[in-house]
Amino acid sequence: MTNILIIFNKLITLVCKIFRKNGSVFPASIILKIKPDILGKIKYPKYVIGITGSSGKGSTTSLVAHILETNGYKVVWNKSGSNVLNGTATLILNHCNFITRKLKADVLLLEMDESYIKETFKKSTLTHLLVTNITRDQPARNGNPEVILNKIINSIDEKTHLILNADDSLVNKLTLKHQGRITTYGINKTAYSITKPYSQNLDGAYCPVCYKKLKYRYYHYGHLGDYKCSCGYKRNLDYVGKQVNLNKQTMIIENKKIHLNNNVFFAAYYTLAAYTLCKEINLNEEQLLNALNVNIIPSKRLKTIMFDNREVVMIESKNENNLSYLQSLKYINQYPKNKTIILGFENVSRRYKYNDVSWLYDVDFNILDTKNVDRIFCIGRFRFDVAARLINSGIDPDELILVDDINRITTLLKENSSGKIFTMVCFDMTEILKNIFLNAEEGDHNEN
């Protein structure tokens, strides 16, 4: 039966491609109804690696895949970003030999939703699990960070090697619960570190052992930093990132200068995470430096195009994650000259129908209340909610333009704004905006 279903999965995927439908999730939704335990029948390679966390798992997975492929490993990984059960199962079955049921790869590398690890694999399947961070993320689905932590620890056993971002006081709690091998990473104090939290809405402010308030020497962002408690709870680092320089896009790891493929601080985290994981599966220094410093992978979350002789920087930011969203806002805020910003989303989530926008009130939008922000355009079905939150943060209502018809945004931008354009929207709207800008630019060229 398993062999036949592997063929069936491949055929459904092929049909989806022929009809230009997204076949990254649908095939396994059928297969798993017929045989729910089919993933337990597959013969996996030596390394089965999961990467999870509230944010940063996609960028980390891409970089790990790049490092491994650059060094000759055959890697099966979810490039499409489908990180829940049906997407993972479709990927695995499509890369299996239908006779031997063996996955045709040296490494199975998976970006994984924290809530679906247990549903996807038996506890002993993952050889390595990297956890990037834990924050309030999709609260309508995930509840609070403690719920997510418990889901992670209940999804694995002592055979799984944990790779943990110990700068996260919540993630570091896993060191108290996991009975298997653990490797940690973190970043020392940098020029960008702060001694007081940027936001008052911290997720990991209290010790998970004795529940006293943690004392921080410094914060990188959110609750990530160097902390300790009088009971002895603190971070202990195996791999340390130092001397982060966002202008030069470099950092130091194990006394070697490493290139960052983006000039944002979380690039230092996903680079250090990828380095740590690959070193722990026995890649050597030369292999790592070649992949990170020579064969450089471009950032997937920043796209730049031109419109009306103005640069448009397109940032994809995840909804329902206040920490991730704030980091994107801070990136925009770093640009010192005149700028126009486009914010909004069509759907709160692609996974459920709860229209919960409470997370907007955990984001400090007041950082956009500066003289060099010319206009803020609010787009999408929730544009009124975004505008209300901006006004609540002290943004002048006269700076806001609500766009009822997104197809008119290029005209509105030409008539009502100036400076460099930053778009910060969820994944579903990035491609729509990009096509609108490119079509408008092409139309202008044709007229000339």
Rounded CA separation 161/158 (Å): 8
What confidence category does residue 346 fall into, taking pLDDT thresholds of 50, 70 and 90?
confident
pLDDT given for residue 444 in this prediction = 60
Give the mean pLDDT of 154-179: 95
Give the mean pLDDT of 6-16: 93
What confidence category does residue 81 fall into, taking pLDDT thresholds of 50, 70 and 90?
confident
Q: Which two tokens stand for residue 348?
A: 């709160």
pLDDT given for residue 194 in this prediction = 93
pLDDT given for residue 146 in this prediction = 86
Span 268-297, pLDDT tens digits: 999 999 999 999 999 999 999 999 998 888
Span 215-258, pLDDT tens digits: 999 999 889 999 999 999 999 999 999 999 999 999 999 999 99
Rounded CA separation 409/425 (Å): 14
pLDDT given for residue 243 in this prediction = 97
Q: Which residue has the tokens 């396994």?
A: 28
Three-point CA angle 163, 164, 167, nearest 5° = 155
What confidence category does residue 443 fall into, taking pLDDT thresholds of 50, 70 and 90?
low
Span 360-381, pLDDT tens digits: 988 889 999 999 999 999 999 9
Instruction: Give yes or no for residue 446 having a pLDDT over 60.
Output: no
Instruction: Give yes or no for residue 401 having a pLDDT over 90.
Output: yes
What confidence category does residue 358 fall into, taking pLDDT thresholds of 50, 70 and 90?
confident
**What is the distance, to the nearest Å, from the Cα of residue 58 to the centroid of all Cα atoms in its chain?**
5
pLDDT given for residue 308 in this prediction = 92
Q: Give the range with max mean pLDDT: 136-150, 342-356, 370-384.
A: 370-384
Q: What is the CATH code for 41-82+100-294? A: 3.40.1190.10
- Cα atoms in the Cβ-side hemisphere of radius 13 Å centred on 105: 24
pLDDT given for residue 75 in this prediction = 98
Q: Which CATH number fits domain 302-447: 2.40.10.220, 3.40.50.300, 1.20.120.1200, 3.90.190.20?
A: 3.90.190.20
Instruction: Give yes or no for residue 32 having a pLDDT over 90.
Output: yes
Mean pLDDT for the chain? Answer: 91
Rounded CA separation 233/308 (Å): 54
What are all long-range contacts of 143-147, with beta carbons under 8 Å and residues at least 24 apart? 145/54, 145/170, 145/203, 145/204
* CA distances (Å), origin 344, targets 126, 307, 319, 333, 430: 37, 20, 10, 17, 10
Span 188-218, pLDDT tens digits: 999 999 998 877 777 888 999 999 999 999 9
414: left (phi over 0), alpha (psi -120 to 50) or beta: alpha
Domains of the chain, residue spans: 41-82+100-294, 302-447
Q: What is the DSSP letter of 297?
A: P
Q: Which residue has the tokens 């834990």?
A: 134
Give the mean pLDDT of 173-193: 96
For 171-328, list the strands marked E by DSSP: 182-187, 215-221, 224-228, 239-245, 250-253, 256-259, 302-307, 310-316
Give the mean pLDDT of 353-358: 77
CA dihedral (32, 34, 35, 36) positive or negative: positive
What confidence category does residue 350 fall into, taking pLDDT thresholds of 50, 70 and 90?
low
Whole-model pTM: value is 0.91
Span 402-436, pLDDT tens digits: 999 999 999 999 999 999 999 998 877 888 999 99
Instruction: Give yes or no for residue 154 having a pLDDT over 70.
Output: yes
Instruction: Give yes or no for residue 95 having a pLDDT over 80.
Output: yes
Give the mean pLDDT of 30-47: 95
